[in-house]
Each structure stands twice: as structure tokens, then as C-alpha cells.
Amino acid sequence: MHDAVLTWYSTHARDLPWRSADRTPWGVLVSEIMLQQTPVARVEPVWRAWIERWPEPASLAADEPGEAIRAWGRLGYPRRALRLHAAAGAIVERHDGRVPSSYDALIALPGIGEYTAAAVASFAFGQRHTVLDTNVRRVLARVVDGRQYPPASTTAAERRAALDLLPEAAIAPTWSVAVMELGALVCTARSPRCEECPLRATCAWRHAGSPPHDGPPRRAQAWAGTDRQVRGRLMAVLREAEGPVPKARLDETWPDAVQRERALDGLVADGLVEPVEGHRYRLPVTTPQHAERAT
């Protein structure tokens, strides 16, 4: 499996800036947080602009968190921008502005969960860690377990299987990113290209006849008419404004007053929006003290 996947990756890997020879640990960390639940095509231009503006943690930490949210644009889940800003501040305070290399130090940063700590330690510092993102979990579910999709949440069995397959330290990081790339490009969720897969000869799911998923229904997350859509419209107005926005302007974004107020209250509670005098709102200028840890 190792030889097959690594050989495939050597000729099919996408040329992404956070994989380049001159990548920095900070660039890897930024990419990993941006790529959570967001396609590469949307992330790459934002990542390039972000690194040009804030090439190191200290430059981001010195700026307002609202500017991080503004630069985040339409990547979605803007709390990730706050988490990244909080992590930059902690890196400056605890590690002299340098992204720490150890898993334990990484996971201790605000907004950094198990996956991100393992990915940064592996891809930025060449360490041996299991890196289980959605793509990797799907590949292992099919190749090893013969299932179309992995469980909704990562299980201990998945972690053990991934660790058992992890090669020696010298090639472990490349193996992890190669399996991730295989899931993104070939072993996709909806239309896997099994004939192009380097693991087709040993894939348990393929040999079982590619049985359909027999677990709970996998439903696409709704968007139209949800609070998420309302929050997105409110954030779009605030991102584009140069200063505080009158409440009346925000009221124009959505006709349902109850839903709109609920969404606005949620943004304030999450630290993404600050109320100011005169019934106005703005992106935050101070770092929220309740920055949550990603999981």
C-alpha cells in the first residue's frame, strides 16, 4: 500500500503553495485551518493574500481580530478566523513568535484541535503522527473496512487502523498527505474513480462489490433560509463597511425580524461582532476572551 500510494502521489500531487519547498510552519498552520470544511480552490487565493499580508504570527497578532474576519471573506465558518488570530497571539506570547513543533505545544494553542496539531507537526516539521481528515477516513473505510463511508465521528478503531498503517517516520508525513490527496482526487465521496486508484487491487469495498452505505442517512447541510444564511448576510455587510454599521442597515438584510435578531445575537455571542454606541455594530477590534478550541 505504501509503495502504491506514494508512487501515485509523486505524479498526481497538486502544486499547492503550502506544500512548496519554501513553505513555513505558519503557512502550513494557516492552510490547515482554512481547509477545514472548505475546498482547496476557494482557499488558495485567500491563503496567498493572507500570507502576503501576515507572513508570520506576530504580524497577525498585532492587527485587529476584525481585520482577520474581513480578510477571511467568504470562506465560511468565520470563527476560524478568530481562532487563528487567537493562536497567533498565543504563539507570540508563549513561543517568541515561532510556531511550536511539538504536538503537545500545538494542541495547547487556542483554536487548535487534535487533527490540526497532528497535521502541522507532520507536514511542517516532518514528524510521525496519524492525520485523520475526512478524505483519509473515507479512503481507509473503503480500503480497509469495506465500507462506503466512515462513521459520523472518528472512532478508536479508526485511529488504531490509521496508526497500524502509518509507515516509518521518514515517509510518514508524505504518506499522510498522499492518502489525503487520494481521497480528494480519486476516492471521492460521490463519484469515486476506482479504475484510477492505486489501491484498487486491495480495496475491500471494491472487492465486496462496492456496497452502498448502510448507516444513518447522510444528509447535505441545508443553507437556504437557515440562521447560517442570515449570519452570512449580516457578516457580508459588516465586512464591506469601513466603520460601524447602523442597526437599520443590518435590518435590511433579512425580512424575518425574529430570525435576524437571533442571528445577530449569535454573532455577538461568538465574538464575531461588537455592538457600539448609537445602535451600531462592527467587526471586533479586541480579541474575544472566549476563543473556543476547535475539535
Choosing from 32, 158, 181, 274, the catalytic residue is: 32
32 is an active site residue: yes
H or E element that contains 246: strand 245-246
SS3 assignment for the chain: CHHHHHHHHHHHCCCCHHHCCCCCHHHHHHHHHHCCCCCHHHHHHHHHHHHHHCCCHHHHHCCCHHHHHHHHCCCCCCHHHHHHHHHHHHHHHHHCCCCCCCHHHHHCCCCCCHHHHHHHHHHCCCCCCCCCCHHHHHHHHHHHHCCCCCCCCCCHHHHHHHHHHCCCCCCHHHHHHHHHHHHHHCCCCCCCCHHHCCCCCCCHHHHCCCCCCCCCCCCCCCCCCCHHHHHHHHHHHHHHCCCCEEHHHHHCCCCCHHHHHHHHHHHHHCCCCEEECCCEEECCCCCCCCCCCCC
Enzyme catalytic residues: 32
